Amino acid sequence: MNELKFELYRLGTEGYCCSQIMMKLALDMEEIENDDLIRVMNGLCNGIGGNQKTCGVLTGGIGVLGLYAGKGKAREYTKDNFGTMVKAYMDWFEERFESTECLDLIGVYRFTDENNQAYPVKCGDTLLESFEKVVEILQENGYTFGNREQ
């Protein structure tokens, strides 16, 4: 089993949702822990707040792009290529998976148990392909994935 697949599986079985997994993978690549950021990503779980709307893999990927190119400080600006990268990821995601909605992608209307996090296992291929796409987009735009200190 490839290392990234194993890591996706491990994070899913530890109860992280898709948006959290996308961000946790990025932070782990940098060997950074940021529990607060992972908690924030929890609000995007189950299709944003559990409403089965926009997929957490999509929003988590956008969050990773923002980690590299978004505004973070008062005297800082969003990088010029941030919007282009987000659009490229969103367009690719919708074309590849034929939807951006959690409901369409995993076919579950409502989660019966709020702590049921088994669905990331079902989303494993989507997570894997999407994370690799985010890394590719960042690299194509001159970022060194795993190192934001440039």
Least confident among 19-23, 49-53, 77-81: 49-53
Q: What is d(CA 2, CA 9) in angstroms, rounded to the nearest whole number?
A: 11
Residue-wise pLDDT for 60-112, tens only, equals 999 999 999 999 999 999 999 999 999 999 999 999 999 999 888 877 655 55
- Number of domains making up the chain: 1
- How confident is the model over 121-131, as pLDDT tens digits? 568 889 999 99
* Dihedral of alpha carbons 20, 49, 115, 35, sign: positive
Tokens describing residue 104:
């369409």
Whether 150 shows a pLDDT value over 90: the answer reads no
In a domain, 107, yes or no: yes
Task: Show the domain range for 105.
Answer: 1-141
User: Residue 124 has what pLDDT?
Assistant: 84
Does 147 reside within a domain? no
- Residues 6 or more apart in contact with residue 53 via CB below 8 angstroms: 47, 101, 102, 103
Residue 149 located in a structural domain:
no
